[in-house]
Amino acid sequence: MKRNEFSYRAPRGTSDILPREQGYWRYVEERAHAICQLHGYQRIETPIFEDTRLFVRSIGEETDIVAKEMYSFPDRSGAMMTLRPEGTAPVCRVYIEHGMHNLPQPVRLYYIAPIFRYERPQAGRYRQHQQFGFEAIGDGNPALDAEVIDMAWQFYHSLGLRGLWLKLNSIGCSSCRPSYLESLKGYYAERIERLCPDCRRRLVQNPLRLLDCKKESCVDIKESAPRSIDHLCPRCQDHFQSVEKYLALLDLPFNVDHRLVRGLDYYTRTVFEIQPQGEEGAQSTLGGGGRYDDLIEQLGGKPTPAVGFAAGVERIILNLKRQNIAAPVPPQPDVFISYLGEEAKDKAIEYGSRLRREGIGAILASSGRSLKAQLRQANALGMSYAIIIGEEELGEGKVTLRDMVSGEQRQMSFEDAMKSLKEKQ
């Protein structure tokens, strides 16, 4: 590659998904569609950008995502738009905008879509990544929390991933969380002189994240910090116990993690994450979700409880590779058509098209190469059969059909060759 002038490259934090990677993508997406179909979730696609206010209101002004990670821009009319930094808010917008409260509740929806966040890229973290997510809107029953969590778990299982941890917590609702936050802040305020700089900032901006600090100095403070589940109101307590009961019923090996909090403000009650065992930091989270009972109302709808989940496709593929799980190879055409001379080329073009019209995949050789070179190409492409058209075949009105695995070949009419290929499919 010439580098003495400007050379174009994919923008930082983005990547090209080359043909050799497509097998993994297809595999993951097929499993995603399958698990959704199994649970009655219907696909939805929303615009890649939305009114900036949708995300600010839902995710929360103080969150990192809104404060410093959004791709926002004014369009030509001056309206502020933002490249979707998460998938839930747009789905809620759709629910409200299209009057989905008139459908049988809950409404079950899923999406597979690109997500954009301006972050420093590293392993498993990109500025554009693909998320698979699903949402059940319009039902506050804990059975639905369990359904969503089970669905997430079965999704990973169906991909062949093993050794995962399911972490669960409840962060309360709008009636009990404020008092919990007060008690948390009070606890930390008393110990402020021992806190790391990050935690001092969190104390003001995002107290829940105090529980997530990994610094040595803050660990023992964290250990005896007030827990959200000890401050739940009776209804949240009931809800959480039911979720636990259902998960046990479903045989899901979950662990209650009192320090599990999530980075988006809209969560209430149930929050959960799934990650590979023994990988604490380092972008290990494979997916996560929770309940967001106030969000629809916040966005202008009627009070409507909801619960959802989202997974990062790139991280799933990373873990498939770590666990040596190979993706199925996408199918490819199986007949290679080689020819010698202009007259044979006409036939080759015609026959290639006729094969494809019969559903038999075919690739034409490149013009002007020796038969040797043509067959070398067929071999390199991994073709199962080759059709050869040269002077001999033209004279007889036939073609040579060669089996590229056994090396056997024989002349026959094109019609017979096509019939034989069809049988072998």
Residue 379 touches RNA, criterion: CB under 7 A: yes
Q: What is the DSSP string of 247-274?
A: HHHTT--EEE-TT---SSTT-EEEEEEE
Cβ proximity of 239 and 143 under 8 Å: no
The stretch among 90-98, 101-109, 112-120, 235-243 that binds RNA (CB under 7 A) is 112-120
Q: What residues between 133 and 192 interact with RNA by CB under 7 A?
A: none
Residue 214 touches RNA, criterion: CB under 7 A: yes
For RNA, give the closer residue by CB, 37 or 122. 122
For RNA, give the closer residue by CB, 179 or 370. 370
- Tell me how far apart the alpha carbons of residues 304 and 239 are, in angstroms, rounded to a whole number: 16
E-state strands within 12-139: 42-43, 49-51, 72-74, 80-83, 107-116, 128-137
Q: Which of 185, 345, 377, 416 binds RNA (CB under 7 A)?
A: 377
- Tell me how far apart the alpha carbons of residues 72 and 84 are, in angstroms, rounded to a whole number: 9
Q: Which of 30, 212, 257, 297 binds RNA (CB under 7 A)?
A: 212
Q: What residues between 40 and 69 interact with RNA by CB under 7 A?
A: 63-65, 69
Strands 107-116 and 128-137: antiparallel
What is the number of other CB atoms lying within 10 angstroms of the CB of residue 359? Answer: 8
For RNA, give the closer residue by CB, 65 or 161. 65
| Distance, C-alpha 326 to centroid of its chain | 18
Residue type, 384: S
Cβ proximity of 115 and 130 under 8 Å: yes
For RNA, give the closer residue by CB, 52 or 400. 400
Q: Which of 34, 38, 48, 373 binds RNA (CB under 7 A)?
A: 373
For RNA, give the closer residue by CB, 274 or 296. 274
Residue 209 touches RNA, criterion: CB under 7 A: yes
**Residue 360: partners with Cβ closer than 8 Å, 6 or more residues away:** 333, 334, 335, 418, 421, 422, 425
Site mask for RNA (CB under 7 A), range 70-99, x = bound: ----------------x-------------
Q: What residues between 270 and 329 interact with RNA by CB under 7 A?
A: 273, 281-288, 310-312, 314-315
Q: What residues between 4 and 23 interact with RNA by CB under 7 A?
A: 4, 9, 12-13, 15
Site mask for RNA (CB under 7 A), range 352-371, x = bound: -----------------xxx
